[in-house]
Amino acid sequence: MDFIPHVIDGQETESASGDRFASVDPWTREPWAEVALGGPQDADRAVQAARRAFDEGPWPRMGYAERGALLHRFAALIEENADALALADTTDMGKPISDARSRDVPRAAANYRFFADHARLATGEVLPMDTGHHAYTRFESAGVVAAIAPWNFPLMLESWKVAPALAWGNTVVLKPAEDSPASATLMASLALRAGLPPGVLNVLHGYGPGSAGAALTEHPSVDRITFTGESATGRVIARAASANLVPVSLELGGKGANIVFDDAELGNAVDWSIRAIFSNAGQVCLAGSRLYVQRGIYDEFTDRFVAAAQALVAGDPKDDATQLGPLASQEHYKKVRSYLDSIEADGGTIRTGGLGEGWVVLPTVVENAPPTARICREEVFGPVVTITGFDTDEEAIAQANDTRYGLNAMVFTQNLSRAHRAAAALAAGTVWVNCFFIRDLRAPFGGVGDSGIGREGGTFSREFFTEPKAVVMQV
Ligand code: NAI
Ligand code: MG
């Protein structure tokens, strides 16, 4: 069986205790690797290594061009090792290998390249003062960043945190999710090969509560905490951060609304709506899990949507043809299954879908669910979508905003005014019009309400991963 060590101070290492845990392949449902199980002692070792690399090492001092060149070399190694990285994520958490290869890995590399360039090319501000003083801004590296990642896009979401943190001269301790540890250790070894100094990117494995995750967020030498995962976990991490007055960035759950107006281009709306809920088996914080369809096109849209859902190829995620793999873990499978069990009791009907082989849940379409049903209110994080009809624009917006989440929403319409009105009225961090998941890395990314605190991306990442400083000089 493979062994997945921590990477601390440039060394692959066991835990101080020697403890290990298993990573389970959700398709075979068998353990495929043993992973170092970190505890408080290992968290301390990793944070001290990052602290030394920041306080004494070359990384924060080398300047944007040199750091950027190393990050580009790192990105190139990620691209060269795409097959191994994709296989690591697919084996750990069951995402289709074709998605891992064609989306997750290239996006991870692109994140390093983008933030390397963004930091190098960024400008500060000069603030002309009437008093004759000269005021300007600087962006100092913040220090040691604790990055805590989820299992749904392991490599890609880790790079979304690690890349801006490194580009702005910080050092990092990354704790991958316990269900998807493998690609992070591989990524850290590639960073060392690229020439990043030891201690700049450390990887610490383990669980959250009472384990590596909690120890990391409670550590007094950490300067920033960036977290993506469950809203309930975000609350716990925010409390830990408050004890040390550490800025925290939280990207949490979602219950994305997807509004299809009667003037939408139907083929386009069906294609994107399918991708929005069924890619990565619906294990996407941005998933369009609540579809609202205007009555005039309800039947036609729904028939086409259901046919497209049934055409998706479910099965072995290592097979190139597979579009929908198993859910990431047994625990998660049981959670999604309990939502399926709630649907009819809560008044909904299942038009298509249900359980597949092993931990596969087939693309599931639910109709007639009342807005109070659990399936309409809670984040399922699986391939399950509710479809609800509406008459007026106002009704659609009110239904879409009837949630404690607010990460993103989608709108399909050919009417420009309607699109702009809806985009303004939707309470969400991102609104996609006639598309889904198209990203410009300069744009703010984050959520309102229970979907999180703060924004990352471009200058928003700079704000979080630096200490912005004002310098005022008498001339
Ligand atoms: P989780 O929030 O429990 O775990 C995410 C990460 O946080 C993992 O690395 C975990 O070890 C760590 N963690 C957990 N508790 C911690 C603590 N007290 N202190 C420090 N670190 C801690 O999410 P989980 O269990 O992996 O997924 C459960 C649900 O979370 C999903 O069903 C979904 O609803 C949501 N989720 C949302 C994601 C998003 O992208 N917004 C991504 C993954 C999960
Ligand atoms: Mg959990």
Query: To the nearest whole number, what is the mean pLDDT of the chain?
Result: 98
The answer to whether position 184 is within a domain reads: yes
In-domain check, residue 438: no
Q: In the prediction, which pLDDT does 452 show?
A: 97
Closest CA to 454 of 437, 431, 429: 429
Judged by its nearest atom, the ligand closest to the C-alpha of residue 283 is 1
User: Do residue 188 and residue 275 come from a single domain?
Assistant: no
Q: Looking at the structure, do residues 459 and 419 belong to the same domain, yes or no? A: no
Based on the fold, state whether residues 467 and 330 are members of the same structural domain: no
Tell me what the mean pLDDT of segment 78-83 comes to. 98
Active-site position among 178, 218, 251, 456: 251
Would 299 be classed as within a structural domain?
yes
Same domain flag for 147 and 275: no
One domain for residues 48 and 97: yes
364 and 221 in a common domain? no
Is residue 135 within 8 A of residue 129, CB to CB? The reply is: yes
Q: Give, as one character, the DSSP assignment of residue 324.
A: B
Q: Are 119 and 59 in contact (CB under 8 A)?
A: no
Same domain, 215 and 68: yes
Q: Cα(187)–Cα(193) distance, rounded to whole angstroms?
A: 10
CB 412 within 8 A of CB 269: yes
Question: Looking at the structure, do residues 466 and 406 belong to the same domain, yes or no?
Answer: no
pLDDT at 249: 98
DSSP labels, 85-141: HHHHHHHHH---HHHIIIIIHHHHHHHHHHHHHHHHH----EEE-TTSEEEEEEEEE
- Is residue 209 lining ligand 1, measured as CB closer than 6 Å? yes
Beta-strand relationship, 11-13 and 6-8: antiparallel
Distance (Å, whole) CA 328 – CA 381: 10
pLDDT tens digits, residue range 208-250?
Answer: 999 999 999 999 999 999 999 999 999 999 999 999 999 999 9
Q: Is 376 one of the annotated active-site residues of the chain? A: no
Tens-digit pLDDT profile for residues 88-107: 999 999 999 999 999 999 99
Q: Does residue 336 have its Cβ closer than 6 Å to ligand 1?
A: no
Average pLDDT, integer, range 457-465: 97
Do the domain assignments include residue 166?
yes
Predicted TM-score (pTM) of the model is 0.97
Please say if the pLDDT value at position 1 is more than 90: no
| Residues 212, 346 share a domain | no
Mean pLDDT, range 162-166, rounded to an integer: 98
| Residue 399 predicted with pLDDT over 90 | yes
* CB 207 near ligand 1, within 6 Å: yes
Among candidate residues 80, 35, 37, 163, the one with its CA nearest the CA of residue 456: 163
The residue-averaged pLDDT of 369-384 equals: 98
Catalytic site residue 218? no
List Cα–Cα distances, 86 to 67, 98, 168, 193, 316, in angstroms.
Answer: 26, 8, 27, 19, 14
Q: What is the Cα–Cα distance from 320 to 324, expressed in whole angstroms?
A: 11
Instruction: Count up the domains in the chain and report the number.
Output: 2
- pLDDT at 395 > cutoff 90: yes
| Catalytic pick among 178, 285, 367, 456 | 285
CATH number for the domain harbouring residue 425: 3.40.309.10
pLDDT in tens, 423-433: 999 999 999 99
Between CA 125 and CA 135 the distance in angstroms is 8
Q: Which helix (H) or strand (E) holds 446?
A: none
In this structure, the answer to whether residues 36 and 75 fall within a common structural domain is yes
Q: Could you say which ligand is closest to the alpha carbon of residue 334?
A: 1
Please check the confidence at residue 461 and state whether its pLDDT lies above 90.
yes
Is residue 27 included in any domain, yes or no?
A: yes
Position 7 in a domain: yes
Task: Give how far Cα 140 sits from Cα of 56, 168, 209, 310, Å.
Answer: 15, 8, 32, 52
The CATH number of whichever domain residue 214 belongs to comes to 3.40.605.10
- Find the mean pLDDT for residues 178-203: 98
pLDDT above 90: residue 337: yes
Mean pLDDT of 70-96: 98
CA angle 114-115-119, nearest 5°? 120
CA distances in angstroms from 392 to 136, 156, 197, 372, 422, listed in the order given: 50, 39, 58, 20, 12
- 314 shares its domain with 350: yes
Cα of 207 vs centre of ligand 1, distance in Å, is 10
Residue 441 resides in a domain: no
Percent of the chain scoring above 90 in pLDDT = 100
Q: Is residue 361 part of a domain?
A: yes
Considering the domain architecture, whether residues 455 and 411 belong to the same structural domain is answered as no
Output the CA angle 281-286-287, nearest 5 degrees: 40
Show the domain range for 281: 257-433
Half-sphere CA count of 315, side-chain side, radius 13 A = 10
